[in-house]
Amino acid sequence: MKCINCSYYRQHPIYEFMGYCEKKGSAVFPEDSCRDAISTVKEETEKLFENYGWAYCIECGSVLFDRSELDKHISLGHSLTQKFLEDEVATYESPGGD
């Protein structure tokens, strides 16, 4: 299973080509795979959507607010999440808004 489809995977909010594995405790690429991967269960995604009112599609890079959009992305097999990697140094990498 690819990292992008794993429950341990956390998408980087700025650099879409990489993420973080909570199991390994290190940076990973979405196309990487490992034997510790755990599939994100459809019911878990739906429950989180009901609680938070939104989901993020890692494949499309879009935020979903409508239940029909969520169902469409689930049917396409896309990886959905509400959890992101917290980038503590992002403010230093972002240009100032003078």
> Residues 49-72: pLDDT tens digits?
888 899 888 888 889 999 999 999
Q: What's the rounded Cα separation, in Å, for the pair 85 and 25?
A: 11
Q: What's the rounded Cα separation, in Å, for the pair 88 and 42?
A: 30
- Tell me the average pLDDT across 43-53: 85
Q: When comparing pLDDT for 68 and 14, which is higher?
A: 68
- The secondary structure of residue 33, as a DSSP letter, is B
Q: Is the pLDDT of residue 11 over 70?
A: yes
In a 3-state reduction of DSSP, which class is residue 81?
strand
CB contact burial 30-64 (16+ within 10 A = b; e otherwise): bebeeeebeebeeeebbebbeeeeebbbbeeeeeb
Residue 79 exposed, middle or buried by CB count within 10 Å (0-12, 13-18, 19+): buried
Q: Is the pLDDT of residue 98 over 70?
A: no
Average pLDDT of the chain, as a whole number = 83
Q: What's the rounded Cα separation, in Å, for the pair 15 and 40?
A: 22
pTM, to two decimals: 0.64
pLDDT at 29: 92
Maximum mean pLDDT: which of 8-12, 39-43, 65-69:
65-69
